[in-house]
């Protein structure tokens, strides 16, 4: 009898999931008319957020299950304000939000004071969350006070605890080929800061302290950024603010951003950071440092990174500042990485050209000095 009840229960849940979850998908007609390629995906933010909410319900009751791929129709803009003041909440294993067709023109039009996505803990360990090909930008169409939660709301908030208790490991969250551009109403593009509350409780405590205080119950997530770009933004707290998490940046670029406090990348409260083959160009930051490593935090890797034409206002360190030792660590790249993919190929050419010009100018200056 017990076996029958359990079997019936799982059958019912499976039926409920198959009949209700991700049923708001439709043909991406505009993309088909443009390219002739048929893609099935979401055409509105509200539809995707509703299916993610259903996945959250399944995950809370069935050990994190309920994830899957959530494909956005390429060439469309998506407005988080449609969810009436609540971000799209992700708490299921192996949830992937991606732009269809391998594109990067699924545009999330950010609203002030509201994260677009909130990745939070479930009753089960959450990992395998990935964002792919999503572009985040400031919305020109702001709807008054809708979504008014906190001026400290990041564009994306990673609130997950880490699967590992003591260090760098397999990422719980990944950003692949994602882009943040022309944002000024959010203090950071991504906040990595563990919270052990649901969204309603977290939103009430969303203030400046979420950036400063160490998480109460342990380490934040392992988060990877690969082939991502941050361009033309104005942030108060930096492009990515890592509060006791592990962040890895691989072949990602930072161009023409302005940071009012700290560096482009800030690590606090015993967090770690790895930066490989990155490009930092034409940024203006408060500093000290383009990258700021706080007390107790660790720079794990700094390989083949390039910087040029940046301005650091607190100028005792213009690259990587280590607060523990009050010393500066420098990038060793002489040009922007040649391994960057085609989505930023034009930027690479621009960076390399300017980098070579800068190097040439330095050589000329040195030659002049020696001649003199």
The per-residue pLDDT string of the chain (372 residues; one tens digit each, 9 = 90 and over) reads 443 333 333 333 443 443 344 568 889 988 888 888 899 999 999 899 988 888 877 766 665 566 789 999 999 999 986 555 578 888 888 999 999 999 999 999 998 878 899 898 766 667 899 999 999 999 876 554 444 445 678 899 888 777 654 445 567 899 999 999 999 988 999 999 887 666 655 555 566 667 777 776 677 889 999 999 999 999 999 999 999 899 999 999 999 999 999 999 999 999 999 999 999 999 999 989 999 999 999 999 999 999 999 999 987 798 999 999 999 999 999 888 744 443 333 343 333 333 433 343 333 333 332 322
Give the total residue count for the chain. 372
Token code pair at residue 158: 């990673």
Distances (CA, A) of 124 to 56, 161, 232, 311: 11, 11, 38, 44
The label of the residue with tokens 């294993």 reads 93
Please count the other Cβ atoms lying within 10 Å of the Cβ belonging to residue 117.
Answer: 26
Half-sphere exposure of 41 (CA within 13 A, CB side): 29
Predicted model pTM: 0.82
Please count the other Cβ atoms lying within 10 Å of the Cβ belonging to residue 274.
Answer: 17
Distances (CA, A) of 127 to 92, 119, 190, 244, 322: 8, 10, 17, 17, 30
Strands 95-99 and 179-181 turn out to be unpaired
pLDDT of residue 216: 67
**Strand positions, DSSP E, 140-213:** 156-158, 173-176, 179-181, 190-193
pLDDT of residue 67: 76
Q: Which residues pair with 40 in a beta bridge?
A: 27
**Separation of alpha carbons 131 and 111, rounded Å:** 19
pLDDT of residue 10: 37
Task: For residue 98, give the H/E element and its range.
Answer: strand 95-99
Q: Does a cis peptide bond (omega within 30 degrees of 0) precede residue 288?
A: yes
Distances (CA, A) of 26 to 3, 38, 360, 366: 38, 11, 54, 62
**Separation of alpha carbons 46 and 247, rounded Å:** 30
Query: DSSP letters of 208-251?
Result: THHHHSPPTTS-B-EEEEES-EEES-EESS-SEEEESSEEEEES
Token code pair at residue 157: 């908030």
């Amino acid at each position: 009898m017990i076996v029958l009840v359990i079997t019936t229960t799982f059958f019912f849940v499976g039926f409920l999931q198959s009949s209700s979850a991700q049923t708001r998908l439709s043909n991406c007609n505009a993309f088909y008319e443009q390219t002739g390629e048929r893609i099935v995906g979401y055409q509105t933010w509200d539809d995707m957020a509703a299916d993610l909410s259903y996945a959250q319900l399944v995950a809370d009751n069935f050990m994190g299950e309920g994830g899957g791929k959530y494909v956005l129709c390429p060439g469309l803009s998506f407005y988080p304000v449609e969810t009436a003041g609540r971000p799209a909440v992700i708490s299921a294993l192996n949830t992937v939000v991606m732009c269809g067709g391998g594109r990067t023109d699924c545009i999330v039009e950010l609203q002030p004071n509201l994260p677009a996505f909130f990745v939070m803990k479930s009753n089960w360990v959450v990992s395998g969350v990935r964002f792919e090909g999503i572009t985040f930008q400031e919305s020109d169409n702001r709807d008054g006070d809708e979504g008014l939660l906190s001026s400290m709301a990041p564009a994306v908030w990673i609130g997950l605890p880490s699967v590992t208790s003591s260090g760098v490991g397999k990422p719980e969250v990944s950003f692949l080929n994602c882009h943040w551009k022309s944002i000024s109403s959010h203090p950071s593009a991504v906040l990595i800061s563990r919270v052990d509350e649901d969204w309603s409780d977290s939103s009430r405590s969303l203030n400046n302290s979420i950036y400063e205080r160490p998480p109460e119950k342990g380490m934040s997530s392992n988060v990877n950024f690969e082939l991502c770009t941050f361009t033309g933004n104005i942030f108060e707290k930096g492009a990515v603010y890592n509060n006791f998490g592990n962040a890895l940046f691989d072949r990602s670029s930072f161009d023409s951003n302005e940071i009012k406090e700290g560096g482009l990348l800030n690590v606090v409260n015993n967090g770690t950071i790895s930066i490989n083959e990155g490009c930092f160009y034409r940024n203006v930051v408060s500093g000290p440092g383009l990258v700021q490593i706080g007390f107790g935090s660790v720079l794990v890797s700094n390989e083949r990174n390039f910087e040029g034409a940046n301005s650091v206002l607190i100028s005792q360190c213009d690259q990587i500042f280590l607060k523990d030792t009050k010393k500066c660590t420098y990038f060793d790249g002489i040009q922007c990485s040649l391994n960057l993919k085609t989505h930023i190929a034009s930027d690479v050419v621009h960076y390399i050209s300017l980098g070579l010009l800068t190097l040439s100018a330095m050589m000329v200056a040195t030659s002049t000095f020696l001649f003199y």
